[in-house]
Chains A and B, each alone.
Chain A
Amino acid sequence: MIEIRNLKKSFKKNQVLNNLDLEISTPGIFAVLGPNGSGKTTLIKCILGMVLPDSGQILFDGIPVMHEWQYRRRISYLPQIARFPENLTVSELLHMIRDVRQQPSHEQEIIRMFELEPFIKSRLGTLSGGTRQKVNLVLTFMYDSPVIILDEPTAGLDPVALIALKELIHAERKNGKVILITTHVMSFVEELADEVVFLLDGRIRFKGSVNALKSRCGEDNLERAIARLLKGECIPDDNLSGADGQGSAFPKTAGSGLKSQHHV
């Protein structure tokens, strides 16, 4: 479904993606993990065509995505930060996205799920951050796309909405979708993810189930397992990284990455 080969991307001197390979061919929930600056968002943006890679290839259903735009009909994307034109109302925004995508949508269902009915005629500028994130979720889940990409979906959600979100994700998995999630909330990963994709230094250092990760690192706790990954202790896996993990220098960002993971 998604095939990434030798992807390279640098911003000025900063090599963000370094010969990254990834193949996602089966449906399921994929948690993309890694410290800050490891290239998660860049990877996602490359798949969406928002960031243009320096070299390498991204195939979506076997077709290269470079400078294409039609393939995005088959992707739903939840951006990290929910900010919308301030003077439009929620219904106008929905209308706009429907107008742009021209695909069948089922927004009413999602609106009900997140109890957004009272806000439907409100101007987006007057909504709270959590409510905007709900609107953001509506925009993502109202389409029946085979691929769903969620960038920090839990940000600012209240517990009720969080439950609704989890239900939605579960339902979509049952429908046989590919769901890519980046998050720092490890419980969320543990609860939902079928597979973990771990990025460090612009490369994928681990790809496999949560249990496989735990057993490889010899930890019962996912957070600790990840922490060990960050220390470079249980990485060597030539099949995945394509490079030796032992000799590689530790990423400068590792420390901050750890800290951010502990806030959960």
Chain B
Amino acid sequence: MFKILKYTLSDLMRSKWVYIYTTFYLVLTTALFWLSNDLAKVIISLMNVVLVLSPLIAALFATLYHHQSREFTELLLAQPVRRTAIFLGQYFGVAMSMSVSLAAGLGVPFLFYGLLVSAQVWNFATLLLAGIALSLIFSALAFYVALRTENKIKGFSLTILIWLFFAVIYDGLFLLLLVLFNDYPLDNFALGASVLNPLNLSRMLILMKLDISALMSYSGAVFQRFLGTAAGIGVAAFCLAAWIAIPIFGIRKTALTKDF
């Protein structure tokens, strides 16, 4: 697996799309620093972009990579290697190249602006970790979908739909339910629904770190109490890890039974 990963990564790290993606984050982060010297605000602005874009790009990139390397994958399948090694190697190659892009694109300007000495270093670390987790999750989901759907267009559409669901539709339904069942105690429902969606969970983790005053209101306090504890952080980490593990498990299973 590590051999496949190594070569996938060295292929992708020279891909122009990866460069474009990295450059985008570099420019965005630098521009935000340039426009605002309030680090907390920069992190919120970045958060809005990272939480939307990093899963989308990771998903699209994973799908694209899967379809582009289809023939080469067949060549690899004819080699004396385990099937799971090929697909997991490719998946981790894609996920890691996305993570490296994100880390470089966000990290370099931050280092340049002397982040390490600022109090925001942990907030930034949370943002970066959340971005990486989302890249891992959504590239795994996309990889799984791509493996399961022969049709390229169908695969792309389904992947975008999954992203759209988690990024927008989920929150819409969530809000609708909250408003409809306004008369009931909804704290635990809100907590559960947020933890289950990796995008919401990441957002809450970052906002909690940023100490947004509005979150200290009645319901925000419930979150603070939950995510403020070691157990809460444990549950959050477990959920994110599960979101990575479940599609990886799916990739493994599909890889073992699929015809190429």
Shortest Cβ gap from B101 to chain A (Å): 14
Give every chain A residue within 8 A of B76 (Cβ-Cβ): 100
A19-36 vs B, Cβ < 8 Å mask (1 yes, 0 no): 000000000000000000
Assess the A86–B11 pair: CB atoms within 8 A.
yes
Could you tell me the distance between the alpha carbons of A95 and B50 in the complex, rounded to whole angstroms? 36
Could you tell me the distance between the alpha carbons of A86 and B7 in the complex, rounded to whole angstroms? 12
Give every chain B residue within 8 A of A253 (Cβ-Cβ): none
Q: Report the count of interface residues on B (CB-CB < 8 A).
A: 28
Could you tell me the distance between the alpha carbons of A72 and B203 in the complex, rounded to whole angstroms? 47
Assess the B79–A101 pair: CB atoms within 8 A.
yes
Report which of A72, A79, A87 forms a contact with B12, defined as CB distance below 8 A: A87
27 sampled A-B residue pairs with Cβ under 8 A = A49-B77, A50-B78, A51-B260, A69-B83, A71-B80, A72-B78, A72-B79, A73-B80, A75-B78, A77-B75, A77-B78, A77-B79, A79-B74, A79-B78, A81-B71, A83-B68, A83-B69, A85-B7, A86-B15, A87-B11, A88-B10, A88-B11, A92-B7, A100-B76, A101-B79, A139-B75, A149-B78
Task: Please tell me if A52 contacts chain B, counting CB pairs below 8 Å.
Answer: yes
Besides A83-B70, A87-B14, 13 other A-B contacts (C-beta < 8 A): A48-B77, A50-B74, A69-B83, A77-B75, A77-B79, A79-B75, A82-B71, A83-B71, A85-B7, A87-B12, A92-B7, A92-B10, A123-B14
Task: Please tell me if A128 contacts chain B, counting CB pairs below 8 Å.
Answer: no
Task: Please tell me if A63 contacts chain B, counting CB pairs below 8 Å.
Answer: no
Assess the A45–B259 pair: CB atoms within 8 A.
yes
A58-102 vs B, Cβ < 8 Å mask (1 yes, 0 no): 000000000101111101010101111111100010001101110
Report which of B11, B14, B79 forms a contact with A100, defined as CB distance below 8 A: B79
Give every chain B residue within 8 A of A71 (Cβ-Cβ): 80
On A, residues with C-beta under 8 Å from B are: 9, 11, 45, 48-52, 67, 69-73, 75, 77, 79, 81-88, 92, 96-97, 99-101, 123, 139, 149
**With contacts A50-B78, A69-B82, A100-B79 known, is A85 near B69, CB below 8 A?**
yes
Q: 6 tightest A-B contacts by CB?
A: A77-B78, A87-B14, A85-B11, A83-B71, A72-B80, A51-B259
Binding site secondary structure of chain B: helix
Assess the B259–A52 pair: CB atoms within 8 A.
yes
Assess the B10–A70 pair: CB atoms within 8 A.
no
Q: Which of B14, B77, B78, B259 has the most CB of A within 10 A?
A: B78
Q: Which of A50, A75, A83, A85 has the most CB of B within 10 A?
A: A85
Assess the B15–A87 pair: CB atoms within 8 A.
yes
Give every chain A residue within 8 A of B10 (Cβ-Cβ): 87-88, 92
Give every chain A residue within 8 A of B79 (Cβ-Cβ): 72, 77, 97, 100-101
Task: Please tell me if B4 contacts chain A, counting CB pairs below 8 Å.
Answer: yes
Nearest residue, chain A, Cβ from B72: A84
Give every chain B residue within 8 A of A100 (Cβ-Cβ): 3-4, 76, 79-81
Nearest residue, chain B, Cβ from A44: B78
Give every chain B residue within 8 A of A69 (Cβ-Cβ): 80-83
Nearest residue, chain A, Cβ from B69: A85
B62-92 vs A, Cβ < 8 Å mask (1 yes, 0 no): 0000001111101111111111000000000
Nearest residue, chain A, Cβ from B93: A85
Nearest residue, chain A, Cβ from B259: A51
Report which of A45, A67, A72, A99 forms a contact with B3, defined as CB distance below 8 A: A99
Task: Please tell me if B36 contacts chain A, counting CB pairs below 8 Å.
Answer: no
Assess the A83–B257 pair: CB atoms within 8 A.
no
Q: Which of B14, B15, B68, B69 has the most CB of A within 10 A?
A: B14
Assess the B3–A79 pair: CB atoms within 8 A.
no
Could you tell me the distance between the alpha carbons of A149 and B77 in the complex, rounded to whole angstroms? 14
**With contacts A52-B259, A92-B7, A96-B7 known, is A85 near B78, CB below 8 A?**
no
